[in-house]
Amino acid sequence: MPIRFVTCFLLALSGSARLANAEPAKPSGSLSILPSSSRLEELWNEGEFTEGVAVAADGTVYFSDIPSGEGTTGQVHKFDPNTGKTTVHCAASGKSNGLMFDSAGRLIACCGANNGLMALCEILPGGKLKVLTGRFNGGRYLSPNDLVILPNGTIYFSDPRYVGSEKEEQDQMAVYRYNPADGSVKRAISADQVEKPNGLALSPDGGTLYVAETNNAPGGRMTLNAFKLRGDGSLGPKKVLVDFGAEAGIDGMTVDVQGNIYAAVRSASRFGIVIYTATGRELAYIPTETLPTNCCFGTGTEANVLYV
C-alpha cells in the first residue's frame, strides 16, 4: 500500500530526546511502499512529549501530550485533517500514553505513572476519565503504556515503568489481557518472556500480537517480538523478529493492510520509522527530524497517510 508519509507532531523534548537529524535523509527502500512522492508535512509542533496517536472512524486524529513537570496530568488533543486545526479533547488525561478506539467508537487510554492514574481508562466524549482496571492481584499497575483491541473488545496492554516515583506494587513488568465482558484481567506475557514491554500492534487478521521489548536498563534487551494469538486469548511461544542489540529499539508501532509493521525506532544512530515485513525483514526507512514515539494510519481518503 503506497503511502503519503505525514509527520504530525514534531516534539519539543529535553535531554537525549532532542537528538535531531540536521538534514534528514529522504525516505528510502521499496518504492511499492514508499513512492517517490512521499513527503514529510508538519501539522502541529506545540507539544512537550506527544504519544499514542489514534484515528477515529471520522478521520479525526487523537494524541496524548505528556508533560514532565510536577503536578501536571497531561492532555489529549485532536487534530481535524479537514480544517488543519488542533484542539484539546481531554484537559486532564491522567498522563495518558497509548490511545486506541474500539469497534464501538470508545476511546481507550493507557494512563501512566509520574502523577498519572496508572490505569486502563476510557476517555468519555466530554473528556472525563472512566477507569476500566487500575489493579492486578490487589496492586496498582506500574505504568500502562500501549494497547491493542481485538474485534470482540478484548484489550491487551503493556505495563512497564520508565518514569515515576510511585511505589511499585507489581513484581514485574508485563502485558495484560482485559476482558470487558466481566472486567477480569490476566497476565498474558511475563517478564521472563519480555523484560520491558512497550509498544503493541496486531496483525490485520488478528492472529499475531507484536510486542516491542524496550529495556533501557544497562544490558537490557531491545527486540521486536511476535506471539500467535490462540482462540482462548492466550499466546503462543515468542518469536524474535528483530534484535537491535546495543542500539535503542522500538517505542510504538502500527501495521498496514498488507501486514507490514511500521515501527518508531529510537536508535541514536538511525532513528525514524522503519518498515518491516511480518517476518522482520526491513522494507523501507523514513528518517524523522526528532526521535519518534508512535504512529498510526488515517482512515477513508486518508488511509495512506501515516501520522507520527
Domain boundary assignment for the chain: 40-260+297-307
In terms of DSSP bridges, do strands 222-229 and 208-214 run parallel, antiparallel, or are they unpaired? Answer: antiparallel
What does the pLDDT average to over 291-300? 94
What does the pLDDT average to over 263-292? 94
For 18, phi then psi, to 5°, come to -80, 0
Reported as a single tens digit per residue, the pLDDT across 157-167 is 999 999 999 99
Indicate the average pLDDT of the chain. Answer: 90
Q: Which residues lie closer than 8 Å to 219 by C-beta, 6 or more apart?
A: none
Residue 200 has what pLDDT? 99
CB atoms near residue 70 (< 10 Å): 7
Cα separation of 134 and 307, whole Å? 29
Cα separation of 117 and 121, whole Å? 9
What does the DSSP assignment read for 115-151? SS--EEEEE-TTS-EEEEE-EETTEE-S----EEE-T
CATH fold of the domain at 40-260+297-307: Neuraminidase (2.120.10)
Reported as a single tens digit per residue, the pLDDT across 242-259 is 999 999 999 999 999 999
Q: Are 290 and 18 in contact (CB under 8 A)?
A: yes
What does the pLDDT average to over 298-305? 90
Reported as a single tens digit per residue, the pLDDT across 271-282 is 999 999 999 999
Cα separation of 300 and 85, whole Å? 19
What does the pLDDT average to over 102-125? 97
Report CA 15 to chain centroid distance, whole Å.
Answer: 21
CA of 118: how far to CAs of 26, 50, 79, 141, 221, in Å? 39, 18, 25, 6, 24
Cα separation of 87 and 14, whole Å? 24
Length of the chain: 308
